[in-house]
Amino acid sequence: MRRPKRKRAKKIDSFIGRQSEISGDLRFEGGLYVDGIIHGNVCAGGDVGAFLALSEHGAIDGEVNVPNVQLNGAVNGDVRASGQVELAANARVHGNVYYRLIEMAMGAEVNGKLVHIEEEMKPALKLGHEPPVEGPASSDAKD
């Protein structure tokens, strides 16, 4: 019998405490946990595994552009996640949410659009299709 896969705990590299307030854009790599307030955009720099966790006490007044996002606080701006978005029960987003994969708990609010980001086109072989076969021209062809 197979055991269900457990979610791996995300590694938190940076922490913004409840008594902290930042004015200005924030760029980070790795994992960021926000329990305070950020007045500015939050962006992950090039790390496709980057992770943002916003606590129920945290707030971001600006756009969020991070591959993996777990929100339980308030965001006043668009959220863009190329990976996964998790909206917990206390999440409040006043803006659009652009996501590839989303999980939304009862009680979470999005005052904007939910926009699914399509995956980039993959080669036919990866989709399980046979490549087109090129052969001699059909016998109906005129010379």
Q: Are 73 and 58 in contact (CB under 8 A)?
A: yes
One pLDDT digit (tens) per residue for the chain, 143 residues? 554 444 545 788 999 999 999 999 999 999 999 999 999 999 998 888 999 999 999 999 999 999 999 999 999 999 999 999 999 999 999 999 999 999 999 999 999 999 999 865 344 434 444 445 555 554 555 54
d(CA 51, CA 66): 7
Structural domain spans, the chain? 14-117
H-type helices in 22-123, by residue range?
none
Q: Is the pTM of this model over 0.85?
A: no
d(CA 54, CA 73): 6
